[in-house]
Amino acid sequence: MPLTYRRPDQVCVEHTFTAPLDHADPAGPAIEVFATEVVRSGNVGRDLPTLLYLQGGPGHAADRPSSGAAWLARALRDYRVVLLDQRGTGRSTPATRQSLEPFTSKEQAAYLRHFRADSIVRDAELVRGQLIGDRPWSLLGQSFGGFCALTYLSLAPDGLAEVMIAGGLPGLTTGPDEVYRAAYPRAVAHNERFFARYPGDRDIARAVAKHLADTDTRMPTGERLTPERFRMLGLCLGMAGSFDLVHHLLSQAFIPAGAGPALSDAFLRGVDGALSMAERPLYALLHESIYCQDGASGWSAHRVGQEFPEFGADVLFTAEMFYPWLFEQDPSLAPLRDCAHLLAATPWPPLYDLGRLSANTVPVAAVVYFDDLYVDRGQSLATAALVRELRPWVTNEFGHEGVGSRPGVFDRLRAMVAGEAG
């Protein structure tokens, strides 16, 4: 039975759905998919349109009703909202080192082949049918959720009344190598802006990297912090306020100790909190697969990174890139190392139907962040030009999570799909 509870000005209903692991084999193994349905207290009993929210990632659970996300507070005025934990995340059947431990590496990789956007869309269609029947619903896709939205428009457009995308227009024909060839220069640019704001932090970052190369420094969880993993702090540099977060970490990096300066526990704990994949293993395991269109990734970020020697010549922070060595160094990923190598060698089918997208009739509005660290502006605008009925909005006012932090983003997207704003 669904569990209903109340929060200030919200009524929330928790649902668990049974879905096939492989939607092409409905009689095969099953998983659970979790979603929270949220309605504003004053709207209980009203026949409202339903809005599905798909979170960024891959591998991140949906926002919770208590998240304080700006878009949610605004959407609840007019919609009944469904917060879907994409398969393998949050309270949906987990896909982690613990849940996958009983299987061989080949079995793990075969299992995770069913965790891309196409399966997420089919889960969403199953949930829609059980919650609202044949009525289409609206969709808000944040980051990777926008990638899923394009797959949704390719596979099941009849299920959608309107689509709003925030920082998540993928290249429809670009493979992972093209994605990373565009991503590394963006990472360089973000480094330049970061060190221009905090010029003293460049020397601190160099000192931290040297200290990590010269010493066996352990994080509070016990694993060693290496120079290359330290550079992965760039993962968060595309979010609003992230420059300040990294600066404040670096400002408390060193502390006097008996044998000389050491990296402080506060710094090491902060780095671990920013970098650990314990809560999001699919983020690392499946990230390159989201860019694969009829091919394998072959550890694309690692290969393409060798074309950018500036990352080896100085301490530059990398961005949304995952490397083979991470599956040796992060304890939450190490048991899945062989699975990760198999996934990198896996040829993946296309996620988008270009013919259907070029004939699309569902209203779509997408905000494209001009200086987005995670999604390439040029590739996003090329997609906007290919998808019929898609209206882009290019802005440099917000970070990648703008829809969550600024209520005006959702307002503008909603007006655009309604034809009330350009």
What are 81's strand-pairing partners? 38, 51
d(CA 80, CA 39) in angstroms, rounded, equals: 5
Give residue 420's pLDDT. 87
Give residue 422's pLDDT. 67
Give residue 153's pLDDT. 98
What does the pLDDT look like over 224-242, one tens digit per residue? 999 999 999 999 999 888 9
CA dihedral of residues 224, 228, 230, 234 (deg, nearest 10): -150
**If residue 5 lies in a helix (H) or strand (E), which one and from where to where?**
strand 3-7
Count CB atoms within 10 A of the CB of residue 8.
7
Task: Characterise 28 by phi-psi region: left (phi > 0), alpha (psi -120 to 50), beta (else).
Answer: beta
Q: What is the rounded radius of gyration, in angstroms, for the C-alpha atoms of the chain?
A: 22
Give residue 358's pLDDT. 98
Nearest CA to 115 out of 140, 87, 77, 156 is that of 87
- Report the side by side order of strands in the sheet with 3-7: 3-7, 10-20, 30-40, 80-84, 50-54, 137-142, 160-166, 364-369, 390-395
Burial of 264 (0-12, 13-18, 19+ CB in 10 A): middle
What are 17's strand-pairing partners? 33
- List, in order, residues 6 or more apart from 343 with CB less than 8 Å away: 109, 112, 285, 286, 289
For the record, the structure tokens of 369 come out as 């962040």
- Catalytic positions, please? 143, 372, 400
- CB 370, CB 166: distance < 8 Å: no
Q: Which residues of the chain have pLDDT under 50?
A: none
What does the pLDDT look like over 72-130, one tens digit per residue? 999 999 999 999 999 999 999 999 999 999 999 999 999 999 999 999 999 999 999 99
Give residue 260's pLDDT. 79
